[in-house]
Structure 1
């Protein structure tokens, strides 16, 4: 690399890092240190999927190749979660359009060892045409690979104006999502999500969210997006997909995507709590609230499928559009 190109690259990295909100530890902004830590060194081994993007699809979807899709809802799902996928298909996933804006749903899944599970997935794929299956193990530790896989698939196989990333246990009101997009018109390098404020990384080895010091050596996390749902643009995904080539992976996907990749790509995170419905402690959802807001946030999984039971009424009250 010539000195002029290196200087330009360095300036770009510094500018994107500088635009990221500071994270102070003892009065010092550690954002540049985080950026430097995750930058792959020349002697480090690159991950076949996160860095080298060697994705192949045993099952694929043609749901949004035509360019007529306004919003693609990309759902990260575990292979065995057939019931959750079917629940989505019967509820908000059945909404093909609203206000003349086309909506489609695609499920992201990785490889399985059990032939019986694969047979079920093949049947689903043939029947619904909404399954995308990658070529790496479908484990919790590989969620980062699945996230980059979704970006890879979108880059080469999907044309949509907006992307809503979801977990497969998240309920969405697609009518209010479209209303929100039409009102706010997100553009450029943006990511709307539920922003979690400064926290400490989880060091408890028994925790599902355990983050080792070797994986993240800093005592404080910058604000990050909770991974259950976020709304973004093709420009944001393209930029984060590109910078993933040169950044060391970590297992916690929400941290990696919304801190590391967003920081390096210059993607601005915006909190969208105003369109969220909190899962109530008594698990009783009031219909008016579900029809007024766009996404249910159920951090501890207490409410589960309960909000899905209101779908028919939501659909009835919005189908005239």
Structure 2
């Protein structure tokens, strides 16, 4: 940490968001000998899940344990972690950013790395939120193995539901597509579903039936129950980035198979946004990133931020050197007078 800037401490980089992307970026920057602060609200998207999957070498690790280890690593390399929620970020006239927290705290950074993730906007079906991340699922690669060979339902709310059902069929032969509020399958899609043995159930879903706090059935509006152990839901994915609006950064739509699935903060492959000095990484900019991909994006963005700081420091060093050389090589007043008198003596 560098000296304060009036109303709060100053860092090379303020990382907003303490998930896998933010902590990986902060660790990368700490190893680059940067002063780093991670501001973390403590509300990770995957908190309800029992384990993180497809993370090489850490398969099944509890989300809380992974983040705790990440915070320890950041601190090991001199970084700081602060609990809080960022409400606004504004640019200083002289460069850098002023970041205001919900508790009134203020911090300053030469660069911002935003890794706040996304919010899953679930369909308004009673019981979905309570079982989200355990029996109500979104990603077969994250959770498919854990519910393999069990009755799996797919809640249709949009045009990608058939694709979703066909995908989940890889993990179980017992898959049911609940039409709910989604569009009717096309003739081609009906043939695909039939060929894969996927049952289509008409009617809206009214609620979820549970046994011992776990999903046991999907209850239709007509009162009938369909046995179900897991329910796949395509939630809308919206970046958590409201505080960036003051810097001119607002979400744009991200599409999958020609259909919008949510809103993301656009960036280049390194995570750099259209606002100089602001980078993003993880689900805030790539909605479909899994945990390991978000961590990799954090490393990539952290390296890009450090390179940008190195470039700026080099420019300043060159300018300072040129000024010093200019002052050192400039003739003194006595030397100028001697030269003038010498010229006169020689008739110049």
The higher-RCO structure (CA 8 Å, 6+ apart) is 1
Greater helix fraction, Structure 1 or Structure 2: 1
Q: Same fold (TM over 0.5)?
A: no
Please give the TM-score of this superposition, normalised by the length of structure 1.
Answer: 0.27
